[in-house]
Structure 1
């Protein structure tokens, strides 16, 4: 039972981070552009979501957080397309600037809990928990017993529904004319320009879409953990890359829709690996090193696969 609880917890966390993996997939696999805005846009989505959630609008908070990420992506793309700044440096500059923006959104503090001021029946000023989509969804299971009474199961079910709809929508979008233009820009930007397509516009749309997805993951995590923190964006890019790479290693190159699904699957597997690592007697600060090793191992798998058949053929020839 303990292992089942651990697995459910890992899957629920993996689903929360799945939109971020989809965003990283868009920039690194479709646009073939390294975008380091991720760490900043993830927290931007989280902080904006926290502010709107406290105001009493949990669904609008998710939309606002997503829009905030799209805005961050817009400025990154603007630096790339109009000022011709290198993509890596553009992402670093925007992420650095977002730290100040996020700090201001949180009211000049490093974290913000989802609670608001109210007055109890005795007339005393108290703090009350702000409504979130997960809190509202959990109310549907009031009085439930067994597996569905587990909060992690409830988080997993709701987030799974959101990610499923999101993945399906992206799968359809990338076969529309604008989606195909974004894909073509990543494959051969010069050819796109020669075809009288505004490559700057399509690149901007792709980067905005990617960071909107990343920010949505931050907004979902904010409502699940019920607080926003400036330090939550640390190593998000590594986590997103690990998810995309693990998914590609496991499922291979399965086309556009397969790539989106594999990114989600990679996010789930990554969280399972991390959750399993927590069961080992290791200090918490070693998790980032473990994340790096996971990425390195995933990157090395294709090379190992290529060399193994050669060694087998060489051994057979002898």
Structure 2
């Protein structure tokens, strides 16, 4: 691959690592299959693009996109917690509604940001890394968000959030409000996704109403690849796996599309994505099953009575 293709894959991987962190909070920590992601990603992009075009400072516009994504997650949480709608269906309803809302926000199917000042503009002269400038900025943001998630999940609220997702009955017995934890977790999850959409629009120079299609698949693929490599027991390793898994996933896609001898073309992107996700799931299950098969043997070896000496 060329240096441009490598930098593009790295940039996309770092961007979608924020999505993977959001998916980790909803799917793994809260055990909440949230499909709002496919709508909150373009919502963050749309809100940021509209703000930038109207002269808002790009850093403030990025915060607006993040808050917009969090608001979308809050709606899904309210549908589930207050109106008792199944979590999967709540996410689908919000995702479908957001397509129309995104059109309303932008006023048209897409908005161009070419020639506009974005969050990356000041660093183009400050860092002067050429095609790697955006990668450097996104790496800093991704690592910062990873440490923020680690810190949050170690706080009292974060521990309550983890307890609520792991064992709701036990959490309720410890006076933890499961509904309140769901609202907090899904809001934070989609805020991260909205931030990813905001940065994606500024990086690519446009926001499009259909740019969120398949976002949840990308986030899950990154999450599963990271768990396969680093495991998911400790939060620190799980969040690091989100970053590494996202970057590796984008490199797999880029390598497949640039491997001319395989005959893969741009229209085969969805096929390649499905294959990569399927392989990641199979490897994850194989890793888990091998661990469970080895554990009884290790336990028997450790607990077996020692032979008595003559």
TM-score by length of 1: 0.87
Q: 1:267 & 1:68 partners in 2: Cα distance? A: 23
2:53 is aligned to 54
* Alignment partner, residue 178 of structure 1: 157
CA 302–224 in structure 1, closer or farther in 2 if over 3 Å, else same: closer
Distance in 2, matches of 1:307 and 1:157, equals: 38
Write the distance in 2 (CA, Å) between the matches of 1:174 and 1:307.
Answer: 29
Query: Contact conserved, 2:164 with 2:176, CA < 8 A, in 1?
Result: no
Deviations 1:76-106 (A, max 9, x none): 0001101111111000000000011000111
4+ long deviations beyond 4 Å: 307-310
2:123 counterpart residue number:
137
Q: Measure, in 2, the Cα distance between the counterparts of 1:223 and 1:182.
A: 32
Q: C-alpha distance in 2, partners of 1:9/1:95?
A: 28
Structure 2 counterpart of 1:73: 73
Mean CA deviation greater in 94-103 or 276-285: 276-285
* Segment drifting more, 34-43 vs 190-199: 190-199
Instruction: State the Cα deviation string for residues 157-207 of structure 1 (Å, max 9, x = none).
Output: 001111111111111111001111111110011222222221111110000
1:278 matches 2:257:
yes
The 5-angstrom pairing of residues 2-21 of structure 1 reads 2-21=1-20
Per-residue deviation, 1:304: 3.1
Instruction: Show the 5 A alignment for 1:204-215.
Output: 204-215=183-194
Structure 1 residue ranges without an equivalent (≥5): 116-128, 311-318
Output the CA distance in 1 between the equivalents of 2:158 and 2:191.
15
| Residues in 2 aligned to 1:303 and 1:222: alpha-carbon distance in whole angstroms | 35
Q: Is residue 76–residue 94 contact of structure 2 (8 Å, CA) maintained in 1?
A: yes
Alignment of 1:206-225 (within 5 A): 206-225=185-204
Alignment of 1:197-276 (within 5 A): 197-276=176-255
Aligned-residue CA RMSD (Å): 1.8
> 1:163 corresponds to which residue?
142
Per the TM alignment, residue 257 of structure 1 is displaced from its structure 2 partner at its CA by 1.2
The 2-side partners of 1:83 and 1:291 are apart by: 35
- Residues 86-130 of structure 1, C-alpha deviations (whole Å, 9 max, x = no match): 1110000000000110001111x1111125xxxxxxxxxxxxx21
Report the count of equivalent residues.
Answer: 289
Q: CA deviation at 1:289?
A: 1.7
Q: Secondary structure at the match of 1:133?
A: coil
Relative to the length of structure 2, the TM-score reads 0.89
2:207 alignment partner, SS class: strand
Shift of 1:307: 5.8
Partner Cα separation in structure 2 for residue 69 and residue 302 of structure 1: 30
Q: Summarize the Cα distance change of 1:201–1:303 in structure 2 as closer, same or farther, 3 Å threshold.
A: closer
Distance 1:199 1:303 in 2: 29
Paired position in structure 2 for 1:64: 64
Equivalent residue number for residue 149 of structure 1: 130
- 1:8 deviates by 2.4
- Partners of 2:204 and 2:39 lie apart in 1 by 19
Residue aligning to 1:29: 28
